Amino acid sequence: RGKYDIYIPFLEQGIRLLKPEGYLGFICPTMFMKRDYGKSLRSFLINNCTLRAFVDFADNQVFGEATNYVGIFIFQKTFTVASPCVCRIFEPNLRLPTEEIGRLLLSGESHDQLIEISPMDVTQLSEDAWTIAPTDRLKLCTELRKRASTTLEELCDA
């Protein structure tokens, strides 16, 4: 329906083909998490699988010179949330070489520009835009939204 990126049908079909309790990993754009066109995919995902791991590379370019915003998503075809979702988020403008990004991910080392969110409460994910951030940041954003009389979006539309 409407606009979508080519990876979306692959992700949906991959989940459909999984055996119960099976895992699927994709490196793909993260834009579906926030954009309107991703709403049906987000709904499909929360109703058909559980996010088990997520790595957000932010604006760090892992595919050479191509400008993209990608992440690694690991899904399991299950609805139990007993196993937490492990998330690693790279800070924007980090400008680490691709090899260093790979080394950090494989080694499990911490880095001052790499945010660990573990465990993440996957029950907070819905068909609405996904914001994956440390709990304290999410609480701060929620509080700011409550207190704001006008949103930045409303100001820009005016």
Q: In this structure, which topology does domain 7-130 adopt according to CATH? A: Rossmann fold (3.40.50)
pTM: 0.79
Higher pLDDT, 101 or 118: 101
pLDDT band at 139 (very low <50, low <70, confident <90, very high): confident
pLDDT band at 10 (very low <50, low <70, confident <90, very high): very high
Domain limits, the chain: 7-130
The residue among 118, 115, 67, 69 whose CA lies nearest residue 91 is 115
* H/E run at residue 90: strand 85-90
Q: According to the model, what pLDDT value does residue 127 have?
A: 92
Q: According to the model, what pLDDT value does residue 133 have?
A: 74
Distance CA 80, CA 100 (A): 34
- pLDDT score of 97 more than 90: no
**pLDDT, tens digit, for every residue of 19-53?**
999 999 999 999 999 998 899 999 999 999 999 98
Q: What is the DSSP letter of 21?
A: T
Which two structure tokens, joined as six digits, stand for 16? 């459909």
